[in-house]
Amino acid sequence: MTQYATIAQLQARLEISGTLSATQTSNMNLALTNASAVIDDQTHRHFEATTDSTRYHDAALDVVDGRLWLQGDLAAVTSITNGDAQVIPLTSVKTDPLYATPYFGLTLKGNSGIGWSGDAIAVTGRWAYSITPPDPIVQAPLRLAEWLYRQPANALDLDRAVIVGNATIAPSAIPADVFVMLRPYMRVVP
């Protein structure tokens, strides 16, 4: 699982100086892993790609008006092989959008003389929103990991409201500012 922030960043945010104990390191690692998973889950995206992978597309299903609609975010294109095993030069392809990631589609240039074909168009590249996460996607898991780290160890029953006299004490909730940071990055899924 990718962590969008480092233990050193979390340690600084928590204002813990010196060498961490094994327990502190383990707890921070767990908090960062869980926070990053929440970010991916809430946004329906993955924000960092460190290696290439290949996804396959079907010309009959995924090509509309000459555009190959990608199944997921693509941050960088390494190679494209058409369904008929023809390697497509990257100079023959226009990304959609043209100057920003993530890419959601690929269009063959009109002068390329190539058309999309077959049911196994292989697109190899970095399948994520970006190669490295944008700053808000580093800050959101740091904030969430800080909150998770500071939760009491004995917080087994914090998911229910407690009524004391005439007052109701609400359970802890994920900090609202995390969702504010994530809102621009959320993918709408049907």
* Interatomic CA distance for residues 35 and 144, integer angstroms: 6
* Interatomic CA distance for residues 115 and 88, integer angstroms: 10
Beta strands in the chain (DSSP E): 53-57, 63-64, 67-74, 76-81, 87-88, 93-96, 103-108, 121-126, 162-164, 167-169
Q: What is the largest CA-CA distance in the chain?
A: 77
For the entire predicted model, the pTM comes to 0.79
Note the pLDDT of residue 166. Answer: 67
DSSP state of 113: -
Dihedrals phi, psi of 14, to nearest 5 degrees: -80, -5
Asked whether 81 and 68 are in contact (CB, 8 A), the reply is: no
Q: Which residues of the chain have pLDDT under 50?
A: 154, 156
Q: What Rg do the C-alpha atoms of the chain give, in angstroms? A: 22
Note the pLDDT of residue 154. Answer: 47
> Which residue from 74, 93, 56 is spatially nearest to 131, judged by alpha carbons?
74
DSSP structure string for 45-93: ------S-EEEEE-HHHHEETTEEEEEEEESEEEEEE-TTSPEEPGGGE
